[in-house]
Structure 1
Amino acid sequence: MEFTAGGRLEVRVTPADVGKRVSVRQLTGAGPGAEKFTDTVGVLTSWDGDVLLITRRTGESVAVPAASLVAGKVVPAAPARRRGPAATFAELARAAARAWQPVESEPLGAWTLRAAAGPAPGGGPGRVGFTRRANSVLPLGDPGMELDAALTRVRRWYGERGLPAYAQVATGAPDTQEPLRAELERRGWRPEVSAEVLTGALAALGDRDADVARVRLERTVGESWLRRYQRTGTPGPHVRQVLAAGPSVWFATVPGEGGLPAAIGRCVTDGRWAGFMAVEVGPEHRRGGLATTVMTALARRALEEGASAAWLQVETDNEAARALYAGLGFTAHHRYHHFRSP
């Protein structure tokens, strides 16, 4: 608890503390001898009029009426609770961007506009972007103009390509983007999907006891690999271009019956980092350790290339995958959210 019953309760948070991590207690219910209080810890993302907006580590935004405050203070950044490699948000965000490159990109100050789209299925109107990661603006740093002007430019750029405008915004670690998230929400942008970025020690993964002789590693994505990949229908050239791009890309395949792989995976080695993506196992082969086998084989290849740390991304509602990665030693670093323009 941030506040104790024996401690003196004071409100020591002011609008000047916007951008800092705070802990506040508010009165949420009252009655004869039965007051109720709620504690909120997170980044103070705004203080507009009489309402504080606090973003928790999970990315949830909490509005707290200033009149309900009974205590509040600035608190230190949350201590690291991971056994994996130390990393800043910016370092990981840039490594992830290099590992999943769009077909087309354009700078907007320090932001990056990204697009990777093919024609709509069946030849209908519009285009379909291959993953939000490759079809969203990555707002690292200053766009070089006022925020409203930058967002107008973002909407226009994606509109010219027949795509919805998305912004990828991170929360939950030092120097992430809680203030930007609050500004987007104030302007009507809404999150459609959230994911966690996990990190872990690469050697521990590579040292696991797994039958890696079953895994075929290749530099190019093959037809059978794409047949197992579930994130797209019939893959167009834009899908292949995104999958093939990166500093050092490897595709893993565990052969199955009828030419359909039992399991697949993708890894991008980039300096000290090895990023794991597209780890999929056929339904009939699950619970047999194939995901671990694929990742172990890829980890050993990344170790040979000089990498020492691992990262991956998993959607927050994918409980099975999160349990698998926790068992492999991965722990949460931060979350990111894809906000869509109204």
Structure 2
Amino acid sequence: MEISAGGRLEIRITAADVGKRVSVRRWHEHAAEGEKFTDTVGVLTSWDHGVLLITRRDGQSVQIAESSLVAGKVVPAAPARRRGPAASYEELARIAARAWQPVERERLGEWELRAAAGFTRRANSALPLGDPGLPLDEALTAVRRWYTDRGLPAYIQLATGAEGTQELLCAELEARGWTREVTAELWTGSLAPLADREAPGVELSRTADEAWLARYQRKGVSEVALKVLGGGSPRSWGSPRSGEAESGGGPSVWFATVPGAQGAPPAAIGRCVVDGRWAGFAAVEVDPEQRRRGLATAVMAALARQALDEGASAAWLQVETDNEGARTLYAGLGFGAHHAYHHYREPEGSRGPVA
């Protein structure tokens, strides 16, 4: 907290600091002794009618009465991260989008509208990485119209918790009745230590074959889903074209499988997309009866070696905030959180005609 030369706590923020990262302390009059003060750190997203709204790293918003403040100051835009390669939010957002490509897309200014017949929110949401070229309400109307025309609910993917993320836009959507349905985090780590781990029995392929799909958690995978899994390119969900992966024609997609017993689905699977210096891991799944045997680590190690061979040096993955097993695994492999991301759904009752 900000302390004056006289030793007193001071409030050194105003409404003019909306959009900045702040640290505040408030006083609770009726709390028990020892619980009178609470500290909150996050982006100041509004200060209206005597109430501050602060969005924390995890995307949760906290309302604080101005009258309860005892101290406050502006702090650096993002805390220093302790693990993982250096990267901006925008770089990671674009890399993650390239790794999970829709089958249809359209630009709205610097926003990207994405659709894939409803297969996953990531491939069926708007990704706003700049100015839509319209006032916000008009842009949201255009987003809703685009998804309505395709028989899909309108989603917008936003992020919090790092420099350049979208706390202010989150607050604007929430004020307009958009609801956050899912929160996950994007984690980063170094690739080489992962590739040094053992990877016995792992088979790699450019194709998501029937065996791999038998273990994949999303059943009844359609042709559209296969295209998304394959990176939006026929080469990785059919026969690869000779030399294409080395030609710089786009991300390189690999699928890993640990075979199961004869006639049974694989014991473990995984997917990796190599894109420049980045390797993105997804769909790491293990037979529930064979967990805690190192199979997930083996799958990721085999994929990491392939990514290193193709010139990657850094790794990323996405994990939901309530998946404690996966979070423990990835932390043990040297990954750490970079930012949180959220999918906001259009307000209930707004699926009627859009002007």
2:206 maps to 219
On the 8 A contact 1:29/1:37 being kept in 2, the answer is: no
Amino acid at match of 1:98: R
Distance 1:23 1:158, change over 3 A: same
Amino acid at match of 2:189: G
Q: 2:141 aligns with which of 122, 140, 152?
A: 152
Cα offset for 1:177?
A: 0.5
Cα offset for 1:31?
A: 8.4
Q: Give the unaligned 5+ runs of structure 2.
A: 233-250, 348-355
Output the CA distance in 2 between the equivalents of 1:285 and 1:4. 55
On the 8 A contact 1:27/1:36 being kept in 2, the answer is: yes
Amino acid at match of 1:252: A
On the 8 A contact 2:2/2:12 being kept in 1, the answer is: no
1:289 maps to 294
Output the CA distance in 2 between the equivalents of 1:87 and 1:113. 24
Q: Give the unaligned 5+ runs of structure 1.
A: 118-128
Distance 1:31 1:116, change over 3 A: closer
TM-score using structure 2 length: 0.89
SS of the aligned residue for 1:138 comes to: strand
On the 8 A contact 1:112/1:137 being kept in 2, the answer is: yes
Distance 1:41 1:259, change over 3 A: same
2:336 maps to 331
Cα offset for 1:67?
A: 2.1
1:233 maps to 219
1:123 maps to none
SS of the aligned residue for 2:331 comes to: helix
1:59-208 matches, within 5 Å, as: 59-117=59-117, 129-208=118-197
TM-score using structure 1 length: 0.92
Output the CA distance in 2 between the equivalents of 1:35 and 1:193. 31
On the 8 A contact 1:274/1:308 being kept in 2, the answer is: yes
Output the CA distance in 2 between the equivalents of 1:18 and 1:81. 24
Mean CA deviation greater in 17-26 or 318-327:
17-26
Distance 1:312 1:35, change over 3 A: closer
Amino acid at match of 2:224: H
On the 8 A contact 1:82/1:332 being kept in 2, the answer is: no
Output the CA distance in 1 between the equivalents of 2:342 and 2:193. 29
SS of the aligned residue for 1:145 comes to: coil
2:351 maps to none
1:298 maps to 303
Output the CA distance in 2 between the equivalents of 1:314 and 1:277. 9
Structure 1: 4+ residue segments shifted above 4 A:
3-6, 30-35
Output the CA distance in 1 between the equivalents of 2:306 and 2:328. 24
2:239 maps to none
Output the CA distance in 1 between the equivalents of 2:301 and 2:34. 56
On the 8 A contact 1:137/1:168 being kept in 2, the answer is: yes
Amino acid at match of 1:175: G
CA RMSD of the aligned region, Å?
Answer: 1.8
Output the CA distance in 1 between the equivalents of 2:344 and 2:34. 40
Cα offset for 1:168?
A: 0.6
On the 8 A contact 2:230/2:253 being kept in 1, the answer is: yes
Output the CA distance in 2 between the equivalents of 1:297 and 1:34. 51
Output the CA distance in 1 between the equivalents of 2:222 and 2:339. 32
SS of the aligned residue for 2:211 comes to: helix
SS of the aligned residue for 1:53 comes to: strand
Distance 1:241 1:26, change over 3 A: same
Alpha-carbon deviations, 1:8-44, whole Å to 9, x = none? 2222111111111111122222589988222111111
Amino acid at match of 1:23: S
SS of the aligned residue for 1:303 comes to: helix
SS of the aligned residue for 2:227 comes to: helix
Distance 1:48 1:291, change over 3 A: same
Output the CA distance in 2 between the equivalents of 1:145 and 1:197. 29
Amino acid at match of 1:237: E
Cα offset for 1:86?
A: 0.5
